[in-house]
């Protein structure tokens, strides 16, 4: 199948602009919200500001202030975002780091699944398309389309939490699987989660994470051993969105984060959806599906992007906490400084992990390099549980201050109420309006429904709490690192026995 031709107003051969990105979302996709088909996500109040937050990223690619940091020409001749291209050196990774960071600072680290997140995988298709034989041409074509237009892909790699005690092939009514094979392609049915920001993307990447893949059995689960890409207007593909925090945000003053950075999550359902062969990467190959999560370089690269985002989000939270303490007049209290210092230390740790991943990469597909797996695994663990600790610190040192606030920005516009607010809701050296504004931001970051979703997201977006540690251990075993660890202990045990030290350099009077 030829590469899909763009609609009027959308240009190939270079990254999209913000307006072209918004136009590209008007493609007939089936997004359901509150029992209705959302015909245009760019104008619907549940999605429109998040769409514009993404559009700002595309405009930055063309901004003279940013384009040299953000873009490069890859080996195929595509002008693209630097993280959308494979890296071939530590310098390439360092430049990609700066490009990711620039984009993430535009949303203060509050949008995790921005276009460069899935570029963690899509770039690897260009490094060695033939890894996906007999679908190597598909990988090459998808890489070039994604890179040249800086496509925004979402992904679904987790089976719904249904009947997980049963073998995968016994849950055909729910899990994504092949229904029928034809000369033109395959028909698939089933559901996947969690399709974060999917309503605002160009295509869905469908695969299995390490936990799901580990459960696959040869001879039984071939119909489930799939990796493919489905454009968002694929017939039979349906997105069922959760509640919109953007829709519930009454004003930017009251909800400055919810109102523009809500990456609406969704359940993605394929109902006898047709996937052309040209969009398939792995088909009915259990062993390849089990291996690809680590072999492809996706794991190494997505943790690179995720750690940069978390470093910036942690910087934001450190600044927010310090401003809250200053407003309360408690910034000089020793205990508060200790806990603020803990958040700053987290920030330093994350940037140190990013530096290690960039400066000490490992070989990957083709002659490309990716961040070292061991460092990526460590980053996955420590960034995921950091958010709980940050929230605990806010709760401990700010106490009930975030609750001491008005119900709405409208209270500040009431001429009778305003003098009372100006007197009793002022901060330390801060007018009431600014104090109210600051703690509205604190509330939206830590306590609102949007914030609650972020707490769940940060803990689970990279895998369940056990899988993160299991993968770290299993990959260390596969690389013989655990053998090295045990050998170090064996060396120590060999230094002595019942008769004392074996090396006379140590003394013993026993």
Which residue ranges make up the annotated binding site for FAD? 155-157, 196
Q: How far apart are CA 445 and CA 295, in angstroms?
A: 36
Q: Helices (DSSP H) in 331-448: which residue ranges?
A: 334-359, 373-398, 418-424, 432-446
Residue 80's beta-bridge partner residues?
A: 72
- Can you read off the two tokens belonging to residue 101? 């960071």
Closest Cα partner for 58 from 100, 21, 24? 21
Order of strands, sheet of 203-206, starting from the edge strand that comes earlier in the sequence: 153-156, 203-206, 226-231, 280-283
- Can you read off the two tokens belonging to residue 141? 């074509």
> What's the length of the chain?
510
- Burial annotation 93-110 (CB, 10 A radius, 16+ → b, else e): bbbbbebbbbbbebbbbb
- Can you read off the two tokens belonging to residue 167? 């073998």
CB 425 within 8 A of CB 406: yes
Q: How far apart are CA 283 and CA 371, in angstroms?
A: 28
Q: What is the DSSP letter of 160?
A: -
For 310, phi and psi rounded to 5 degrees?
-70, -35
Q: How far apart are CA 364 and CA 26, in angstroms?
A: 37
* Distance (Å) of CA 218 to CA 94, 212, 214: 40, 14, 11
Contact residues for 103 (Cβ-Cβ < 8 A; gap 6+): 57, 60, 70, 114, 116
Contact residues for 480 (Cβ-Cβ < 8 A; gap 6+): none
């Amino acid at each position: 199948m030829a590469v899909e031709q763009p609609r009027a107003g959308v240009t190939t051969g270079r990254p999209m602009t913000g307006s072209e990105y918004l136009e590209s979302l008007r493609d007939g996709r089936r997004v359901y919200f509150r029992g209705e088909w959302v015909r245009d996500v760019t104008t619907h109040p549940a999605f429109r500001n998040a769409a514009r937050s993404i559009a700002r990223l595309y405009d930055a690619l063309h901004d003279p202030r940013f384009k040299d940091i953000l873009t490069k020409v890859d080996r195929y001749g595509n002008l693209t975002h630097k993280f959308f291209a494979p890296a071939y050196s530590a310098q390439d990774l360092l430049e990609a780091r700066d490009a990711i960071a620039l984009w993430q600072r535009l949303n203060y680290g509050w949008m995790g699944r921005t276009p460069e997140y899935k570029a963690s995988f899509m770039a690897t298709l260009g490094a060695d398309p033939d890894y996906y034989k007999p679908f190597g041409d598909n990988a090459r074509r998808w890489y070039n389309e994604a890179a040249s237009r800086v496509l925004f892909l979402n992904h679904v790699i987790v089976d719904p939490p249904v009947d997980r005690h049963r073998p995968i092939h016994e849950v055909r009514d729910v899990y994504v699987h092949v229904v029928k094979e034809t000369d033109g392609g395959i028909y698939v049915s089933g559901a996947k989660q969690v399709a974060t920001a999917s309503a605002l993307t160009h295509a869905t990447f469908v695969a299995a994470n390490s936990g799901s893949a580990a459960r696959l059995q040869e001879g039984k689960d071939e119909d489930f051993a799939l990796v493919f890409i489905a454009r968002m207007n694929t017939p039979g593909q349906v997105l069922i969105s959760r509640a919109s925090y953007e829709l519930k945000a009454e004003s930017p003053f009251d909800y400055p984060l919810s109102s523009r950075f809500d990456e609406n999550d969704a359940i993605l359902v394929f109902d006898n959806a047709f996937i052309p062969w040209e969009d398939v990467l792995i088909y009915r190959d259990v062993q390849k599906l089990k291996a690809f999560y680590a072999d492809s370089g996706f794991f190494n690269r997505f943790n690179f992007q995720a750690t940069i985002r978390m470093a910036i989000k942690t910087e934001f939270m450190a600044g927010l906490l310090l401003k809250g303490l200053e407003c309360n007049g408690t910034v000089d209290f020793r205990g508060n400084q200790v806990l603020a210092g803990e958040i700053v230390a987290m920030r330093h740790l994350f940037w140190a992990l990013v530096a290690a991943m960039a400066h000490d990469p490992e070989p990957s597909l083709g002659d490309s390099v990716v961040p070292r797996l061991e460092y990526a695994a460590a980053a996955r663990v420590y960034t995921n549980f950091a958010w709980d600790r940050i929230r605990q610190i806010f709760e401990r040192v700010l106490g009930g201050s975030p609750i001491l606030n008005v119900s709405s920005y409208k209270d500040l516009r009431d001429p009778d109420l305003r003098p009372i607010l100006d007197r009793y809701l002022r901060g330390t050296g801060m007018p009431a309006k600014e104090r109210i504004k600051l703690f509205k931001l604190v509330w939206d970051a830590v306590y609102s429904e949007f914030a609650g979703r972020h707490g769940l997201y940060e803990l689970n977006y990279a895998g369940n709490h056990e899988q993160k540690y299991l993968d770290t251990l299993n990959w260390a075993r596969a690389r013989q690192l655990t053998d090295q660890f045990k050998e170090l202990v064996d060396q120590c045990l060999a230094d002595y026995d019942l008769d004392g030290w074996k090396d006379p350099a140590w003394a013993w009077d026993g």
